[in-house]
Amino acid sequence: MTADPVAPRHVLAHLGPHAILTPTIDETLAYFVDLLGMDIVHESDDGYYLRAFGDYERWSLHLIRADRAGLGYASWRMVSPEALDERVQWLEANGYGGHWTEPELGIGRFYEFLDPDGHAFRLYYDTERYVAPEDKRPVIPTNFQSYVGRGANVRHVDHLNLLARDVRACREFWEAGFGLRTYEIIRLPDESEAGAWMSSSIQGHELIYTQEKTSGSGRLHHFAYLVDTREEVLRAAEIFTDARIYIEAGPSRHTAIQGFYLYTREPGGNRIEVANGGYLVFAPDPKPYIWTAAEWAKKPGWGAPIPPEFHIYGTPVVDE
């Protein structure tokens, strides 16, 4: 894998639409609509397209009917058509060539490929901006639609965490090919890495890789959706509790990036986080903070300990 002579910067605009596989499509749909507060945009033969009230694009989540839970794909919007073509050329020159797919509901065409651990990603530029119908038109015209105020009331996707057998290889892939900035790393005594927090922007994390501890590969750890305040994370805990949704961890505060969190599993089995906060990085030349295993084990953040299963469970579920 070769980096560009000048490492690319700012070629990725933001995390784009993503797809989640679920074996319980109706129950999963109810979780995202009634409990997270997302809206149905379109019903397809294989599932549903949804959006959050803060999305400027027409849709942001494709729920796909499947035999088991897991990641369908994640995507990035590029900053320009030229950036898209250049990065596709880099992928193909470095052995990560994929294929073009047709647009979906006005977004794309997409270039789909696999990262070093086998997770499906898509790149795109063309997109359809959401135009709110009269009954969802906001009073403030710079908003994309009226305030939902339903369930946890998530604004948009915040970040994505993937399990990887080689965290370092995945981190270096995104740094070399796409100029992602790495803000924190957990480094083990053997020099391997147990976690890496990366971003295309000043946001502390958009893409995270953490160590795969099973025989699996290409697995999803979680998607996180943003709410406006910590109080809304606490409110979400009340909503999920009364809905009999399993709360795996939180509400509490993370050590890495320092966001406030609540982890549940939607009925199909995928882990979903309701999140708020996390630091911003304004320096143009940040150096990642390297956690040693011993330092990380002290967990200088606060709140109840995360259960051991949090570092093992992912989707699709594997036996060992």
For 28, 55, 101, 173, 208, the CA distances from 19, given in Å and listed in that order, are 13, 15, 14, 22, 17
> Tokens standing for 74?
């994640």
Q: What is the dihedral sign for C-alpha 168, 217, 125, 15?
A: negative
pLDDT per residue as tens digits for the range 212-221: 999 999 999 9
Residue type at 17 in one-letter notation: P
**What is the model's pLDDT at position 7?**
55
The C-alpha atoms of residue 208 and residue 221 are separated, in whole angstroms, by 9
* Direct distance between the N- and C-terminal alpha carbons of the chain, in angstroms, rounded to an integer: 31
pLDDT in tens, the chain (320 residues): 655 544 567 899 999 999 999 999 999 999 999 999 999 999 999 999 999 999 999 999 999 999 999 999 999 999 999 999 999 999 999 999 999 999 999 999 999 999 999 999 999 999 999 999 999 998 898 889 989 899 999 999 999 999 999 999 999 999 999 999 999 999 999 999 999 999 999 999 999 999 999 999 999 999 999 999 999 999 999 999 999 999 999 899 998 999 999 999 999 999 999 999 999 999 988 899 999 999 988 876 777 788 889 999 999 999 77
Sheet holding 289-292, edge to edge: 247-253, 259-265, 271-277, 220-226, 156-164, 207-211, 193-199, 181-187, 289-292
| Residue among 278, 290, 259, 257 nearest 249 (CA) | 259
| Residue among 61, 71, 121, 70 nearest 91 (CA) | 121
Burial (Cβ within 10 Å: 0-12, 13-18, ≥19) of residue 85? middle
Return the C-alpha torsion angle 160, 170, 319, 313, nearest 10.
Answer: -30
**What is the model's pLDDT at position 302?**
76
In this structure, what are the phi and psi dihedrals at residue 74, rounded to the nearest 5 degrees?
-115, 160
The C-alpha atoms of residue 4 and residue 178 are separated, in whole angstroms, by 9
* DSSP code per residue over 205-242: -SEEEEE--SS--S-EEEEEEE-S-HHHHHHHHHHHHH
Fold (topology level) of 12-311: 2,3-Dihydroxybiphenyl 1,2-Dioxygenase; domain 1 (3.10.180)
Residues in the chain: 320
Output the CA angle 204-314-281, nearest 5 degrees. Answer: 5
Do 91 and 81 form a contact (C-beta atoms < 8 A)?
Answer: no
**What is the model's pLDDT at position 4?**
57
**What is the model's pLDDT at position 267?**
97
**What is the model's pLDDT at position 3?**
55
Do 156 and 16 form a contact (C-beta atoms < 8 A)?
Answer: no
Task: Please tell me what DSSP assigns to residue 42.
Answer: E
Task: Please tell me what DSSP assigns to residue 22.
Answer: E
pTM of the model: 0.94
For 7, 24, 320, the CA distances from 21, given in Å and listed in that order, are 34, 9, 21
Do 63 and 32 form a contact (C-beta atoms < 8 A)?
Answer: yes
**What is the model's pLDDT at position 2?**
59
